[in-house]
């Protein structure tokens, strides 16, 4: 397996010249699940490990329900080191990346973060990602399941002058929940000055950290990029704080479902465009006027006139969960399909997310989901199903 290896540990002092030519390296994805930097740490705490996105990952420790509720009430520590952490740098980077995503990258100030989409030529979604302006370029986090495809796509379509640095020597931890800031600021002073979708360089002793105030649970929280060799020690310190417990993949999924956040490969895919996916906010104002991103004609037309279908939330009557793949009916007609579903501990009821024809997408619309040959009543709901609690600048505290 031939992969780039990082040769520095500080995001502040990344050296693009240390990276091999980005257009001459073949990528081989692993056949067997890989181990996370914290693999032994998870197992020592009794985690049940399962294959996900090419890695063995902890699905739960003490139980999904308990871990979910703990995160909503206190602070949960998630290992998301399977995600791809990239540094893009080089002359003309902003304009080049804007040929692949619909966001206004040129207007992104240092320390600011933006959600965006990597688009196929026809406007379909190849991945959703986070882009942050860092001192040495753009720090980009991509989904673990498609990170090798993303890197290959970027290498193919970005100019030779742009360097792509895959930071394989760093772990990524997410501390999420209303008390996350209380715990983290005791270990890393100053993180409480960040607002939602802001990021910066911090130090834990001599070790460099890159921390953003973001996450994928709908709660306030942080994502922490740290040298992999020190991740276990840092995680131990966090879990000694009374607010913090380790949380597995199962609760991360139920939390993001309640928060109405799509999971790539389930709720988003190359057959889906941003308007169908209810992600029009990712198309920046300037780009709506200028276009110039993949599939812009199709996407801007749908933005102006509406898409034929739309991603919506669904409340489910009764206690039986409605899972991915369940068809949605209006009378005898199939009008949609569920893409994510499960039990929502916060509301103590099953919920789902899926796509329905635009004529049936209004909140309050009554439909039926087919589960094991039976029809279950469901109701279209506006997303998110559980309100977000981000620490936004200017918001009332």
HSE on the CB side for 261, CA within 13 Å?
A: 19
Split at pLDDT 50, 70, 90, the class of 303 is very high
CATH class for the region spanning 16-257:
alpha beta
Residue 396 pLDDT grade (very low, low, confident, very high; cuts 50, 70, 90): low
- Say whether pLDDT at 19 is over 90: no
- The DSSP line for 353-368 is EEEEEGGG-STT-EEE
196-to-28, 87, 175 alpha-carbon distances in Å: 35, 21, 13
Residues above pLDDT 90, as percent of the chain: 89
pLDDT classification of 62: cutoffs 50, 70, 90: very high
Question: Do 210 and 161 touch, CB atoms closer than 8 A?
Answer: no
pLDDT for 32 equals 83
- Strands of 55-60's sheet in order across: 34-35, 55-60, 48-52
The predicted pLDDT at position 392 comes to 96
Kindly state the average pLDDT of the residues 90-115.
Answer: 98
For the residues 279-286, what does the mean pLDDT come to?
98
Average pLDDT over residues 104-113: 98
- Domain positions in the chain: 16-257, 262-381
pLDDT digits (tens, 9 = 90+) for 205-226: 888 999 999 999 999 999 999 9
Provide mean pLDDT across the span 361-381: 97
Which of 138, 140, 137, 115 lies closest to 128 in space, CA to CA? Answer: 115
CATH architecture observed for domain 262-381: Beta Barrel (2.40)
Residue 302 CA to residue 288 CA, distance in Å, equals 12
Tokens of 326: 């369940």
Cα dihedral 195→197→198→199 (10° resolution) = 130
Mean pLDDT of the chain: 92
Residue 395: its pLDDT value, please? 72
User: Does pLDDT of 100 surpass 60?
Assistant: yes
Phi-psi domain of 64 (left: phi exceeds 0; alpha: psi -120 through 50; beta: other):
alpha
Distance of CA 255 to the CA centre of its chain: 12
What pLDDT does 397 receive? 54
* β-pair type (113-119, 327-330): unpaired
pLDDT at position 120:
98
How confident is the model over 182-202, as pLDDT tens digits? 999 999 999 999 999 999 999
For residue 330, what are its two tokens? 């209006």
More confident residue, 13 or 25: 13
How high is the pLDDT of residue 228? 97
Q: Distance of CA 145 to CAs 29, 155, 360, Å?
A: 10, 18, 32
Residue 344 pLDDT > 50:
yes
């Amino acid at each position: 397996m031939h992969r780039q290896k990082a040769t520095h540990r500080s995001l502040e002092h990344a050296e693009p010249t240390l990276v091999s030519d980005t257009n001459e390296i073949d990528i081989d994805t692993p056949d067997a699940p890989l181990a996370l930097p914290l693999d032994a740490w998870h197992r020592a705490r009794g985690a049940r490990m399962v294959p996900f996105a090419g890695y063995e990952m902890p699905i739960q420790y003490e139980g999904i329900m308990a871990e979910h509720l703990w995160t909503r009430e206190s602070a949960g520590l998630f290992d998301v080191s399977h995600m791809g952490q990239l540094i893009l740098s080089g002359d003309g980077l902003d304009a080049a990346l804007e040929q692949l995503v619909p966001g206004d990258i040129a207007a992104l100030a240092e320390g600011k973060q933006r959600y965006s989409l990597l688009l196929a030529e026809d406007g379909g979604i190849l991945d959703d990602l986070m882009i942050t302006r860092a001192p040495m370029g753009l720090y980009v986090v991509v989904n673990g399941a498609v990170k090798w495809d993303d890197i290959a796509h970027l290498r193919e379509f970005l100019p030779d002058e742009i360097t792509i640095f895959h930071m394989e020597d760093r772990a990524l931890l997410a501390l999420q929940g209303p008390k996350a800031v209380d715990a983290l600021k005791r270990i890393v002073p100053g993180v409480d000055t960040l607002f939602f979708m802001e990021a910066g360089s911090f130090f834990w002793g001599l070790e460099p950290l890159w921390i953003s105030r973001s996450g994928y649970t709908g709660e306030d929280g942080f994502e922490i990029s740290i040298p992999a060799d020190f991740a276990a020690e840092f995680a131990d310190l966090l879990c000694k704080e009374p607010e913090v417990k380790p949380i597995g993949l199962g609760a991360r999924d139920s939390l993001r479902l309640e928060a109405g956040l799509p999971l790539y490969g389930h709720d988003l895919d190359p057959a889906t465009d941003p308007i169908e996916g209810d992600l029009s906010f990712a198309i920046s104002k300037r780009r709506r006027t200028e276009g110039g991103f993949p599939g812009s004609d199709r996407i801007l037309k749908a933005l102006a006139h509406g898409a034929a279908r739309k991603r919506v939330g669904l409340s489910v009557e009764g206690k039986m969960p409605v899972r991915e793949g369940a068809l949605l009916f209006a009378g005898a007609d199939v009008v949609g399909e569920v893409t994510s579903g499960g039990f929502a501990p916060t509301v103590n009821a099953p919920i789902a997310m899926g796509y329905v024809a635009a004529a049936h997408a209004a909140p309050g619309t009554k439909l039926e989901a087919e589960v094991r040959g039976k029809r279950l009543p469901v109701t279209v709901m506006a997303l998110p199903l559980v309100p977000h609690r981000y620490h936004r600048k200017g918001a009332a505290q």
